């Protein structure tokens, strides 16, 4: 290794240590850089632009030829519109005029002009012209990639073990990820509840987020050491640094050995209270991790990841096959299949949904499903058909009140009626649950509890919506407080409403995997915790060392505290007393 050691500090979101070379990931839709140029550089920028147009045209023609050979010329004709964009003189001439007038680098000028064209077309009430807007977006990304000299690489192109460094890792990135070859994640942005953090903990991969501009400062192939426990990334670690971390790894391995030995034990407190401990998954290939971790089933199957990065919607049969594979693999334990939670930070590439100013407050999750009953019913039919296996439950996300729940139940009943008429089997008594992740749902939980078999509290969104803090915005990450008194009251209210109607309640948000908060969640009376597979052994160990009476005393003490920081500090004291080896 060469070069001076450089240490970067971020936020550790998934524990562990990784050493390896950098895989630098630049998403296709990254904003091009903006750089002022002088008169002498204009001619050079025009040459760069013309070269990028020629290269893009050649790539489209090559892709068209490959598709024509593989599936026929008719399907390949969809790229004719892309060629028209590359050859559009009106667009090209405006770029050249703006380049002469404004004197910025050509990729910045081109992106501005092309995005304006696409925006204008997308607002026209004509399906054909609106489609052209998506062609422009697609070709724009390709031309900008060629101008920047970048290949169109996804995380699926990783072909040897590396540490992924990126501005951010999106749900769409995850769907293409070769998970066996990722040693760790390091990103510019993010928080403990960002998608990168959740995924890293699920896969037991070390991760550091909030490293500001790390994706601009590192280069592919550089050697780094990643410390996901302390939130540190070290470029060109010295022999001394490597030795010190080697000693830390030995201690961590001893803790892991103890945790591995808990696999076949149950999550029962020291005084005999059993808390169901399940795992969250995103894709069918995650199931072996759940089994290996010793979880009691799957408490949250996020089905939207099956829909991402596809050229078209998955059919009912494709969904049936995927859900059946999960249900059979986890037998005899159960699986809770959550219906589509699209929107927010997860979008279909082919949905052509208009951009929203506040996507997390927009047409997402159950709202999207109610607006598109065709997509919703196809998914429900697939889930119902799989339910004959006997271990399948279904859950609706982001229910905000009784009206939405009843509309969704109506579509579920319609799917059941269709299957009966077609003579297709399903479990008539499939259990239906809902996620409590909107404050309004917690406030009317008693009415909702009369209509379903269980609740699952999605703390990530419940906290975000209650405190009005964008959970992926690192500028206000310090305001995202799971121990805010309002959050604890909403959870307690939800549990009381559920138990009052004789139904069980779980927690499937990231709060469930925070072992400093385990004593508090037990005291609040939750019946189930569903966490990232990699965290199952730690949470199990925490539960087994706790006593419910002590947890209850903790809850009573926190009632007198008005500060989230004070409540968290008290929780940490209890956790340190019982399982310090998991925290230090």
Tokens representing 339?
């219906």
Binned at pLDDT 50, 70 and 90, residue 351 comes out as very low
Classified by CATH at the fold level, domain 272-534 comes out as TIM Barrel (3.20.20)
Count of CB atoms situated within 10 Å of the CB of 375: 19
Binned at pLDDT 50, 70 and 90, residue 190 comes out as confident
Q: What is the pLDDT of residue 492?
A: 97
Count of CB atoms situated within 10 Å of the CB of 530: 27
Domain 6-27+154-255 belongs to what architecture? 3-Layer(bba) Sandwich (3.50)
For residues 433 and 448, the answer to whether their CB atoms sit within 8 Å is: no
Q: What is the pLDDT of residue 427?
A: 96
Binned at pLDDT 50, 70 and 90, residue 352 comes out as very low
For residues 248 and 40, the answer to whether their CB atoms sit within 8 Å is: no
Strand partners for 7: 234
Distance CA(271)–CA(249), nearest Å, equals 33
For residues 382 and 323, the answer to whether their CB atoms sit within 8 Å is: yes
Q: What is the pLDDT of residue 130?
A: 61
Q: Per residue in 83-139, pLDDT tens? A: 788 888 888 999 999 999 999 999 899 989 988 888 887 777 665 566 667 677 778
The CA-to-CA distance between both ends of the chain, in Å, stands at 30
Binned at pLDDT 50, 70 and 90, residue 466 comes out as very high
Name the segment(s) of the chain with CATH classification 3.20.20.60: 272-534
For residues 404 and 370, the answer to whether their CB atoms sit within 8 Å is: yes
Predicted structure pTM score: 0.72
* Of 195, 369, 484, 551, catalytic: 195
DSSP 438: S
Binned at pLDDT 50, 70 and 90, residue 469 comes out as confident
Share of residues in the chain with pLDDT > 70 (%)? 87
Distance CA(39)–CA(49), nearest Å, equals 16
Distance CA(109)–CA(117), nearest Å, equals 13
Q: What is the pLDDT of residue 82?
A: 74
The highest-confidence range among 167-181, 183-197, 324-338, by mean pLDDT, is 324-338
Three-state SS letters, 137-184: HHHHHHHHHHHHCCCCCCHHHCCCCEEEEECCCCHHHHHHCCHHHEEE
| Closest listed residue to residue 379, CA positions, set 340, 352, 405, 347 | 340
Q: Mean pLDDT in the chain?
A: 87
Torsions phi, psi of 478, nearest 5? -65, -15
Q: Is 82 a catalytic residue?
A: no
* Of 82, 137, 508, 551, catalytic: 508
Distance CA(520)–CA(567), nearest Å, equals 10
Name the segment(s) of the chain with CATH classification 3.50.30.10: 6-27+154-255
Mean pLDDT of 375-403: 96
Alpha carbon 132 to chain centroid, angstroms: 30
Q: Per residue in 239-283, pLDDT tens? A: 999 999 999 888 888 888 888 888 889 999 999 999 999 999 988
Q: What is the pLDDT of residue 539?
A: 96
Q: Is 571 a catalytic residue?
A: no
Mean pLDDT of 559-565: 92
438 to 145, 171, 174, 466, 484: CA distances (angstroms): 40, 22, 26, 8, 16
Q: What is the pLDDT of residue 66?
A: 65
Bridging pattern class, strands 223-227 and 207-209 = unpaired
Residue 12 has pLDDT above 70, yes or no: yes
Bridging pattern class, strands 182-187 and 162-166 = parallel
Domain 39-148 belongs to what architecture? Orthogonal Bundle (1.10)
For residues 105 and 37, the answer to whether their CB atoms sit within 8 Å is: yes
**H or E segment at 214?**
helix 214-217
Count of CB atoms situated within 10 Å of the CB of 378: 20
Torsions phi, psi of 244, nearest 5? -60, -45
Name the segment(s) of the chain with CATH classification 1.10.274.10: 39-148
């Amino acid at each position: 290794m060469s070069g001076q050691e450089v240490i970067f500090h971020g936020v550790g979101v998934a524990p562990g240590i990784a050493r390896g070379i950098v895989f630098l990931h630049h998403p296709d839709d990254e904003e091009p850089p903006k750089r002022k140029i002088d008169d002498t550089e204009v001619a050079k920028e025009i040459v760069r632009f013309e070269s990028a147009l020629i290269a893009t045209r050649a790539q489209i023609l090559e892709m068209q030829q490959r598709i024509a050979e593989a599936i026929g010329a008719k399907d390949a004709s969809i790229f004719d519109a892309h060629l028209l964009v590359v050859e559009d003189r009106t667009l090209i001439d405006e770029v050249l005029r703006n380049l002469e007038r404004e004197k910025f680098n050509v990729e910045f000028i081109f992106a501005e002009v092309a995005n304006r064209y696409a925006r204008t077309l997308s607002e026209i009430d004509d399906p054909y012209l609106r489609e052209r807007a998506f062609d422009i977006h697609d070709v724009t990304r390709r031309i900008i990639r060629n101008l920047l000299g970048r290949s169109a690489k996804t995380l699926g192109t990783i072909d040897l073990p590396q540490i992924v460094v990126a501005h951010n890792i999106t749900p769409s990135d995850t769907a293409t990820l070769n998970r066996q070859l990722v040693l760790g994640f390091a990103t510019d942005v993010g928080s403990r509840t960002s998608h990168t953090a959740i995924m890293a903990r699920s896969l037991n991969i070390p991760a550091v987020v909030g490293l500001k501009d790390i994706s601009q400062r590192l280069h592919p192939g550089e050697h780094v050491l990643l410390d996901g426990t302390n939130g540190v990334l070290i470029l060109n670690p010295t022999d001394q640094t490597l030795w010190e971390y080697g000693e830390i790894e030995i201690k961590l391995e001893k803790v892991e050995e103890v945790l591995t030995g808990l696999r076949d034990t149950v999550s029962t407190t020291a005084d005999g209270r059993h808390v169901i401990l399940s795992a969250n998954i995103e894709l069918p290939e995650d199931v072996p991790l759940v089994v290996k971790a010793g979880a009691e089933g799957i408490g949250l199957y996020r089905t939207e990841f099956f829909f991402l990065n596809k050229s078209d919607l998955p059919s009912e049969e494709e969904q049936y096959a995927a859900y059946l594979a999960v249900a059979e693999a986890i037998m005899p334990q159960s699986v809770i299949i959550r219906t589509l939670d699209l929107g927010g930070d997860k979008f279909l590439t082919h949905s052509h949904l208009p951009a929203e100013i506040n996507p997390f407050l927009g047409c997402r999750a159950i709202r999207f499903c109610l607006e598109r009953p065709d997509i919703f019913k196809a998914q429900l039919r697939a889930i119902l058909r799989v339910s004959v296996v006997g271990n399948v439950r279904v859950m609706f996300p982001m229910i905000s009140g009784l009206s939405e729940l009843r509309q969704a139940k109506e579509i579920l009943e319609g799917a059941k009626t269709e299957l009966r008429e077609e003579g297709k089997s399903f479990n008539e008594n499939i259990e239906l649950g809902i996620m409590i992740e909107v404050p309004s749902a917690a406030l009317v939980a008693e009415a909702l509890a009369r209509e379903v078999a269980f609740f699952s509290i999605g703390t990530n969104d419940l906290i975000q919506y209650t405190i009005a803090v964008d959970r992926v915005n690192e500028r206000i990450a310090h305001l995202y407080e799971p121990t805010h008194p309002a959050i604890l009251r909403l959870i307690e209210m939800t549990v009381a409403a559920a138990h009052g109607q004789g139904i069980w309640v779980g927690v499937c948000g990231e709060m469930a995997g925070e072992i400093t908060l385990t004593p508090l969640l037990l005291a609040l009376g939750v019946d189930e915790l569903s966490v990232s597979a990699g965290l199952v052994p730690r949470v199990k160990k925490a539960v087994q060392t706790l006593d419910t009476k002590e947890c209850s005393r903790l809850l009573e003490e926190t009632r007198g505290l008005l500060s989230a920081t004070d409540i968290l500090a008290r929780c940490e004291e209890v956790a340190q007393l019982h399982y310090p080896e998991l925290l230090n």
